[in-house]
Structure 1
Amino acid sequence: MLTRLSALVILLTGASPLFAQQDPAACTALRDTVFAAGHVTTARVVEAEGLPTYCEVRATALPAINIEVRLPMEGWNGKFYQAGCGGFCGILGRADASGGWVNAMRPGLERGYATATSDSGHHALSVVDAGWAHNNPHAERDWGWRSIGETNRVAQIMIDAFYGSASDQAIFQGCSTGGRMAHVAAQRYPDMFDGIISGAPAMDYPGLVATKMAWLVQANTADDGSQILGPEEAKLIGDAVLEQCDAVDGATDGAIADPRACDVTYSDLGLSNQQMDTLMKWREGPRNAAGEQLYPGGIPEGSEPFWWLWLTGNGTGGGKLIPAFVNGFGRYMAFPVDPGPEWTPMDFDFENDPARLATMSAVYNGDSPDLSAFRAAGGKMIVWHGWADAIVTPYKTVDWYEKAAAEAGGEDVLKENVALFMVPGVDHCGILPGPDGINADSLDPMTPLEAWLNEGTAPASIMAQ
């Protein structure tokens, strides 16, 4: 009742909803909101340092999608901002706890948006924990696509109940798995979001996490189970790459503008034949016995400083997340019938297993190049990817963009709705700092997306000003 009355006062006085202030009682009253196939668990006013005061609503969309909605107590701009999640998700609001902007609600809340995110439909102990998916097709479905729509549905219910009106614009932002979610949103829910930000999109999870990552693990495992390339070799290789490729783009700046233009000689590094074989397999990406490429590209030149986190470890127990991801995914998520905890990446069969991934690809993937429905709805999409990404290969993103351009009738046509930015020197989602400290904080895709949506100005850069 209080929020409806506030809305009526605004309507009668002509005041902008941007300046409307909500009563704290209206926030706690959201605990009593009734909606189909779900329920509110908590509602409270939160005063957080560096953020506008907001009404935090926790809700569940059945069967098990936990959702957090943050509603500005004053200064709501009338719009909605939804964030994705990383890895296998499972930890509600994890990105906001880190203080960064990737997969976080913070960028929206700072600008006056009502915001929301979810755990994608399950609870997990870490983002590499996939045990929740064991023989659980409903949870796999919710992680794959349904949590996107349900988060939006519940958030819109709360927005209407709190402010007395619906949002008049919606934006989605995500990186890695959140980038996959961004692509899924454009394809499964083409009318839901006016603007989408997709970073380092893991848009083909079975191809990436099952096929490619199993290839990487097998290539780096000796017959006795030992690791072939480690952090010391990674530094040797990285130094050689930088020395031979840094200036190819005309600037000696510690970053490789396009690894496809990089041609490196490794003969003077003292690598063994076995180590060279592993390196070449990492560079080319997965193939079957006939030499057919099973996933676009391999590990790009220039990504070596980040290998410790994703591929080799740091020698003291840190990193090596790729083996952790493929272990969980292969055991519990990749196949129609889960092989279970005894499965390892060494069991992946590159002749037969890629075809077995088709069932779950239909549940998870967002790599269709057909954006016709999203484009017809007038949606705008910024896709960004670091050229130094060692886990989600940038070659897949380039391959998708080229196919999307062909599907749209040419790149000039696609550019009316989709802008691609490939950023030299940037790690996966900008997690680790690259040359001159470049990381996620060096980027700002939100400002150009807002200008595109609200002023019609196509984005020329996503670098933070």
Structure 2
Amino acid sequence: MTDITSIRVSSWDRWIDPRSIPAADESVTERCSHELLQEALEGLDADLRAEIGSMKVTSAQVNRTGRFEVPPPRFMALPPGVTMDVPPITDLPPFCDVRVGIRTPGGQEQEAMIWVPLGWNSRFLGCTAGGDFTLTLGDQAQRHVQPPFALRNGFATATIDGTRVDTSAQEVIRADGTIDAELIANLAHRSLHAMTIIAKAIVGALHGRAPRFSYLVGDSVNGRQAMASAQFHPGDYDGIWSEDPAINWTRVIPAGLWPATVMHELDNVLPEEKLEAFRSAVLEACDGADGVEDGFLGAFEPIDLDPHKVVGTATPAGEITQLDAEVMELIWAGPRRVTGERLWFGPRPGTRSWGSHVAMGFPVGLCVTTDVDSQLVPAPFGLSPLMQRWVTRDPEANGIGLTFAEYESLFDQGCAEFAEIATDNPDLTAFRDAGGKLLLSHAGDDEVIPFQGSVNYYRRVIKAIGGLEETRAFARLFVTDGDMHNFCYGLGPGLTLARGMAALMTWVENGQAPETIIAESWSPQDRTLTATRPAYAYPGSTSYNGDGDPADARNYHQVPASEHVLRNFDL
């Protein structure tokens, strides 16, 4: 069979020309059966079956309705009063919907969901995250791949619920107070590996051949899972895109408690009006170094503002005080030991980190506050207390009230005890040697996972591999100016799912490494494209030409980022 799949970006979530997707193979309907698919799983290598655990096909049916009814999310605790009613997913091609129950060697029950289109483009696209969680975000301009998006582009796809755990840590902490190490390992990398092996076996049984190319995409905590695949299972995928990733997990998660710790220790909680005043001062002092004053900073623009210069500025919440400036300075500086030694990065100055964006009922940001009994208190981001809960074995820990000494101890204990999930190993030689290609990207104005961590990781990869050009041969980093976490609704354009996948597939299948990817901004109200800007592979930085529409990518050029600025990303 000739593979004529054509890459053509037509919207934020469509990157395969539908005319190049083969017609439905009706013989697949005959093979979409419990018996045949169970036989395929039992035919897996004995060592793989022992590693994964018992596997049972629980359902296999062809869906020709074009619709999928989304079940309620099982793994996400919503804020009080918030419900999630997700409309049915529509515009789906005919596909075989397969569910596989898994019982891991340690006894954990999981379910893998595999969708295989009758008209298949000969490729597999793995979805990170957990089961139905990947279906809850709906049709939004985002980077997070979900099974419907993969299916509409002709891919076979899969997801598994074993890659998520309850953020309260009640699943991880056993009744006797010990940690379920297998559950941590499953979350870290094993469940996603199992899903991949199972899904490829199912696809091969249905279509009579293995996928020609396999891809994996994940953002945020799922971007960490995508990177873990490259680090732990380098032969699973030909191309991996890790977006806004929570790599360096054992540092990133407790770093989310740093702003609350600073506000507690200095007994001074900053309201959003004062945080906005500090941000405005940063923009006034630094915006424009890339040639255009656009309300956000270029990712590699130098930042030189002493927050104490903002003292006396009037805000609706009162004047900026000396103590306010001290709090802001410590938050920007990032987690520190009591000696002053830097542990990790803080929110980048100029980022809207106080929850101005709300996603799925949650205010998104590291400096969020809330009113409790007429008193302003810190409200750490949902995942931020997770490491504290694991370390202390206390599912009720909320990250509020820590001293600097307690914070340092928590940070160190988490790094030592949960190294398997850290996902910070810069040695990607096995992935490189397997022929894999890695696309690493991060939003420059990420509100919850500062992009500095991804730059730090990439610089460590360069050192481990032996040089920039040697690294660029298989792994490239893109940072998008002004972009927000996950969604392309920020002040600056971001990489859409379609743009990123088109770049990755062109690299893997045609050998054309991406030097530039066009970033896009979309209106959340009417899903219209509002701006474009080029994103350049590290160490490239964006500079405005000086004339033309700043919302048009054609009016920018590439300049190298200053090594003086880049050294700030090293610890």
Task: Provide the TM-score with structure 1 as the length reference.
Answer: 0.84
Given the alignment of the two structures, is residue 298 of structure 1 paired with residue 346 of structure 2, yes or no?
yes
In 2: Cα distance, 1:343 partner to 1:434 partner: 29
Match of 2:449 in 1: 392
Helix, strand or coil: the match of 1:197? strand
Q: CA deviation at 1:342?
A: 4.8
Checking the alignment, whether the CA contact within 8 Å between 2:97 and 2:113 is kept in structure 1 is yes
**2:61 alignment partner in structure 1:** 44
CA change 1:221–1:24 in 2 (3 A) is: same
1:407, CA displacement in angstroms? 1.2
Q: How far apart, CA to CA, are the structure 2 residues paired with 1:223 and 1:411?
A: 42
Structure 1 residues 19 and 360: alpha-carbon distance in aligned structure 2, compared to 1, 3 A threshold: farther
Partner of 1:325: 383
Which of 90, 102, 110 aligns to 2:152? It is 110
1:134 is matched with which residue: 162, 173, 188? 173
- Residues 480 and 494, structure 2, Cα contact 8 Å, conserved in 1: no
Shift of 1:343: 6.3
The CA deviation string for residues 123-164 of structure 1, in whole angstroms up to 9 with x for no partner, is 65xxx4433222332222211111110110110121122112
- Which residues in structure 2 correspond to 1:13-412 (within 5 Å)? 18-19=22-23, 21-23=25-27, 25-26=29-30, 28-30=32-34, 33-34=37-38, 35=41, 36=49, 37-46=54-63, 47-48=66-67, 49-62=90-103, 63-74=108-119, 76-85=120-129, 91-94=132-135, 97-99=138-140, 100-121=142-163, 124=166, 128-135=167-174, 136-210=180-254, 212-221=255-264, 228-258=269-299, 261-264=302-305, 265-269=309-313, 270-295=319-344, 297-304=345-352, 307-308=355-356, 309-313=364-368, 322-331=380-389, 333=390, 335=391, 338-342=393-397, 344-347=399-402, 349-412=406-469
Q: What is the CA-CA distance between 1:365 and the residue it aligns to? A: 1.9
Question: Is the CA contact (8 Å cut-off) linking 2:165 and 2:172 kept in structure 1?
Answer: no
Which letter does structure 2 place at the counterpart of 1:311? Answer: L
Bigger mean CA deviation after superposition, 389-398 or 258-267 = 258-267
Change (3 A) 1:17 1:458: closer
Residue range with higher mean Cα deviation, 361-370 or 283-292: 361-370
SS in 1 for 2:247: coil
Distance 2:310 2:503 in 1: 41
Structure 2 unmatched ranges of 5 or more: 2-19, 42-48, 68-89, 175-179, 314-318, 357-363, 373-377, 521-571
Q: Give CA deviations for 1:373-415 in whole Å, capped at 9, x if unaligned.
A: 1111111111100111121111111111111111111101100
Structure 1, residues 182-238: CA drift from partner, whole Å, max 9, x if none? Answer: 11111111111110101111112221112x1222221133677xx711222222222
Secondary structure of the structure 2 residue equivalent to 1:290: coil
Letter in 1 for 2:432: R
Q: Distance in 2 between matches of 1:96 and 1:44?
A: 25
Q: 1:304 deviation in Å? A: 1.7
Q: Would you say 1:455 and 2:459 are equivalent positions?
A: no
1:102–1:440 contact (8 Å) kept in structure 2: no
- Flag the 1:257–1:101 CA change in 2: closer, same or farther, 3 A: closer
Q: What residue in structure 2 maps to residue 444 of structure 1?
A: 499
SS at 2:425 equivalent? coil
Where 2:477 maps in the other structure, the secondary structure is: strand
Contact 2:282 2:350 in 1 (8 A): yes
Kindly indicate whether the alpha-carbon contact (under 8 Å) linking 1:65 and 1:142 is maintained by their aligned counterparts in 2.
no
Question: Over aligned residues, Cα RMSD in angstroms?
Answer: 2.9
Residue of structure 2 in register with 1:13 after alignment: none
For residue 109 of structure 1, report the CA deviation from its aligned partner. Answer: 2.1
Secondary structure, counterpart of 1:261 in structure 2: coil
Is the 1:386–1:430 contact (alpha carbons within 8 Å) kept by the matching residues of 2?
A: no
Letter in 2 for 1:163: H
For 1:458 and 1:428, the matched residues in 2 are separated by 25
Specify the SS of the correspondent of 1:287: coil
SS in 2 for 1:247: coil
TM-superposed deviation, 1:108 = 2.7
Q: CA deviation at 1:439?
A: 4.8
Paired residue total? 434
Secondary structure of 1:422's aligned partner: strand
Helix, strand or coil for the counterpart of 1:228?
A: coil
The alignment-based identity, stated in percent, is 23
Give the Cα separation in 2 of the matches to 1:27 and 1:302. 55
Q: Does structure 2 conserve the Cα–Cα contact (< 8 Å) formed by 1:21 and 1:73?
A: yes
Give the alignment of 1:426-437 within 5 angstroms. Answer: 426-430=483-487, 433-435=489-491
CA positional deviation for 1:248: 1.7
User: Are 2:189 and 2:225, in contact at CA under 8 Å, matched by a contact in 1?
Assistant: yes
CA distance in 1, matches of 2:271, 2:34: 53
